[in-house]
Amino acid sequence: MPAPQVKSKWRPPLALIVYSVLLSIMALPIISIIWFRATDSAASLTTTTEAGALLVVLLVTIAVAYVLSRNITGPINALISRSDDIARGGRSAIQPLESYGTREVATLSQSFLDLASKLVDRSEYVRSFAVHVSHELKSPLTSIRGAAELMRDDDDEQPMTRAERQRFLDNIITDTKRLDLLLARLRELAYAEVPMPAGQINVMELARMLQDRFSGYVITASGEVAVQIALPLEAALVVFGNLAENAFQNGATHLALDVQTDGRSVYVLVSDNGSGILQANRERIFQPFFSTRRQNGGTGMGLEIARTMLASHGADITLHETSGDGTVFRITALRGEL
């Protein structure tokens, strides 16, 4: 969808307005003096002193107009130039200006830089994500196509055995299930991108809901469990549900939620007693589609969905160092209203 276009018509530049306003203000006393001199037949039109004073006022007015123009229109024109460079894909243009002039222009420039950085990062993320998605979908599709072609080209003289046909059918069903799971995860990720209505929940309630969902495991809560966390119920269940599912799929039998607060921030340590994460994989676990359980149906999207969901509510998730077995994640969120 193309961007809406501003209606093209002549508009005065800011510099012209500044000069015109200041010169108009200066012209008022000049016109008054001339008018009074003209109506007073006994007085000369202007004296040398008055003319000199008016000249000084004119020069001061022009100097003031120049300063205003330099400190306002200059940075604004620089921002316009930067916007054009960024629109053409110039990431190097995302850097502070040499001069801002006023506090308001500096604030506007910082907002512009923040927005431009987010847009460029988002564009790169979408490009990388599209490559990952196409790769993840290509593997099962290729497998399904190969199995279907072999079954289609089955030779009547040397037909497949029942076991071979069953194996190909099982492969097709397995790959279609993987495609269904990938598409479901993609829908969850798209859902996570859309901010939910504001809500809040405490860890005591959350632990109880998770225990009902994962009844075969032990889920405990400790610390300031009654503190309200600024996360809607649906978002909290998606985030903590993904963490719990990952933990239990990696051999954990116990998931512990420990809550601490610091002013307006709430920290939730989510720890398990599973097999943990190898040191070589710790830098990659938040990459989309990275999974150590690919052979068992893992999509590698659970943590990406959790992080995206948290980010849409001003929260974050990080991986903590652990001294022994198990995994510890730290979720930082805002404190809810009392």
| % of the chain surpassing 90 pLDDT | 12
- What is the residue-wise DSSP string for 110-154? HHHHHHHHHHHHHHHHHHHHHHHHHHHHHHHHHHHHHHHHHHHT-
Average pLDDT over residues 231-240: 86
Q: Are 241 and 209 in contact (CB under 8 A)?
A: no
If DSSP codes are grouped into helix, strand and coil, which group holds residue 334? strand
Q: Which residue has the higher pLDDT, 14 or 86?
A: 86
Q: Tell whether pTM > 0.75.
A: no
Cα 335 from Cα 263, distance rounded (Å) = 8
How many angstroms separate the CA atoms of 19 and 70, rounded? 12
Could you tell me if 243 and 307 are in contact, meaning their C-beta atoms sit under 8 angstroms apart? no
- 129-150: average pLDDT: 77
3-state helix, strand, coil in the chain (%, to 5): 60, 10, 30
Cβ burial of 174 (10 Å; 0-12, 13-18, 19+) is middle
Residue 287's pLDDT band (cuts 50, 70, 90)? confident
pLDDT in tens, 35-73: 666 665 555 555 676 667 667 777 777 777 777 777 777
**Residues 201-212 pLDDT 10s:** 899 999 999 999
Greater pLDDT, 188 or 78: 78
Predicted pLDDT of residue 155: 74
Q: Which CATH architecture has domain 201-334?
A: 2-Layer Sandwich (3.30)
Q: Which residues contact 304 (CB under 8 A, 6 or more apart)?
A: 189, 286, 287, 288
Least confident of 20-24, 83-87, 294-298: 294-298
The domain limits of the chain are 14-101, 132-193, 201-334
Return the CATH fold of 132-193.
Helix Hairpins (1.10.287)
Alpha-carbon distance 99 to 72, whole Å?
Answer: 10
Burial (Cβ within 10 Å: 0-12, 13-18, ≥19) of residue 254: middle
Q: What does the pLDDT average to over 252-261?
A: 92
Q: Is the pLDDT of residue 182 over 90?
A: no
Instruction: Give the tens place of pLDDT for each residue, 88-98.
Output: 766 666 777 77
pLDDT top residue among 288 and 159:
159
